[in-house]
Amino acid sequence: MDQDQFLIQRPSAVSYPDWSTGAKHPGLTVVGRKTYNLQNDVEEWFSEKQLKGESVRGEDIYLWLWRIGALEHFLGLEDAVAIQEKGPFVFRELFQNKAPFFFRSVTEYRPEDGCDSILLVPCLSLFGERVVLDWVWLSFGLGPNNPALRFK
């Protein structure tokens, strides 16, 4: 297998959706490696509950990673975009049926109707032969098929 297919070159800047307030931690958008091998330099991380096959709220994972200062070691939106561009073969090879999350790029949605804001995190999933970037509410449960990706 050609190792170049796993080589990631992060884009220097990506756009958050129009509904987003931008990166919750803008200082983290510039940290991390610019070039790396997805197969050798990145690993899946699961909470203890996920390792037991249980579901855990995304917000609980996010707040714990934030409190211990670990968010900078996790991949973000720039990485998700670069991985998405690699296409379904690379995605399937590395993640099978999993939907990885990119906790360094949590963002906030503020509805115009005055309701409470909502925190969301980017994730990738395979839909047919397309790798889809989606945003998931952190109040949702993440199970054993929802790893967070981080640098080794």
Going from the first residue of the chain to its last (152 residues), give the mean pLDDT of each consecutive group of 10, the final group possibly shorter.
79 87 87 89 96 96 96 95 94 94 93 78 95 96 97 95
Instruction: Give the model's pLDDT for residue 116.
Output: 76
For residue 1, give every residue at least 6 positions away whose Cβ sits within 8 Å of its Cβ, in sequence order, or none: 93
Query: Phi and psi at residue 125, in whole multiples of 5°?
Result: -145, 160
Instruction: Give the model's pLDDT for residue 124.
Output: 98
Tokens 């690379």 locate to 90
pTM of the model: 0.92
As a whole number of angstroms, the distance between CA 131 and CA 38 comes to: 16
Instruction: Give the model's pLDDT for residue 111.
Output: 73
Side chain identity, residue 42? V
For residue 75, give every residue at least 6 positions away whose Cβ sits within 8 Å of its Cβ, in sequence order, or none: 32, 42, 102, 103, 104, 149, 150, 151
